[in-house]
Amino acid sequence: MPDLIILGVETGIAGGSLALIVNGREIDSSVGNKEIARAEEVLPSIDQLLRINSISIRQLSGIVISTGPGSFTGVKIGIAMALGLRAATNTVLKGITAFKAIKYSSDNRNMIVAIPVGRGYIGTQSFYSDGSHSTPVLLSFSDFFDELKHMSVPVFCHRSLANEIKAANYPFVENVGENVAASVARAFNSPFADDALVPLYLDRTAIDRSK
């Protein structure tokens, strides 16, 4: 039986990340590389990751791209790149939001996922024990920390947010690190991933108008 080789790609958060998952095990990744989310560097970064591990792009069983949230430009670049790879290789391509990918990587049923989205903003989504979830929202840092005062559920957050949330004396913090692409790749066969690559852009207009 051939290996299940999945490439996870995330290009919208903190410079982006890549991950290779083979038969459910992460074998390599590129994390926090400021070049990954630049249009001219996405494909070379993927090529280098595959080459180091002696895997050709045609050996991939599937590619999973994060559809957001994150940098508008980064998300757009990632989706365009993934569509180009699918056209060139006929590889199975799926999309999943970073929120749902992180949720899928956790055994917690009640949780909040928090992701940095631009300077001074945090994207959040809540997941509940009955399988439902909230609508993703964009909050300023101050509004997010105000909301935490009334909560007691784990916050699963990108590494760049973990220390700030802990500094706000919120005790239920789970640092998922910077390798969001690994969570994206692991969710390839999850019910959260599908072939509808609809970008998730969170609107900060309402926040700006309220100031």
CATH number at residue 196: 3.30.420.40
pTM exceeds 0.85 for this model: yes
β pairing state of 173-175 and 155-157: parallel
Tell whether 182 and 171 lie within a shared domain. Answer: no
Q: Could you give the CA distance from residue 188 to residue 177 in angstroms, rounded to a whole number?
A: 19
Tell whether 65 and 167 lie within a shared domain. Answer: no
Tell whether 19 and 39 lie within a shared domain. Answer: yes
Tell whether 198 and 170 lie within a shared domain. Answer: no
Mean pLDDT of the chain: 90
Tell whether 146 and 182 lie within a shared domain. Answer: no
Domain housing 124: 107-175
Tell whether 76 and 136 lie within a shared domain. Answer: no
Q: What is the CATH number of the domain that holds 126?
A: 3.30.420
Tell whether 85 and 120 lie within a shared domain. Answer: no
Q: Is residue 210 situated within a structural domain?
A: no
The total number of structural domains in the chain stands at: 2
Q: Is residue 211 situated within a structural domain?
A: no
Q: Could you give the CA distance from residue 76 to residue 85 in angstroms, rounded to a whole number?
A: 14
Q: Are 76 and 208 in contact (CB under 8 A)?
A: no
pLDDT band at 209; cut points 50, 70, 90: very low
Tell whether 11 and 94 lie within a shared domain. Answer: yes
Q: Which residues pair with 125 in a beta bridge?
A: 113
Q: Are 42 and 80 in contact (CB under 8 A)?
A: no
**Residues whose CB falls within 8 Å of the CB of residue 123, separated by 6 or more in sequence, listed in order:** 69, 70, 99, 114, 115, 116, 117, 136, 137, 138, 139, 202
Tell whether 90 and 119 lie within a shared domain. Answer: no
Q: Could you give the CA distance from residue 74 to residue 148 in angstroms, rounded to a whole number?
A: 28
pLDDT band at 38; cut points 50, 70, 90: low
Judged by DSSP in three states, 124 sits in strand
Tell whether 17 and 30 lie within a shared domain. Answer: yes
In the predicted structure, residue 90 carries a pLDDT above the cut 50: yes
In this prediction, residue 34 carries a pLDDT of 58
pLDDT of 129-171, one tens digit each? 999 999 999 999 999 999 999 899 999 999 989 988 988 889 9
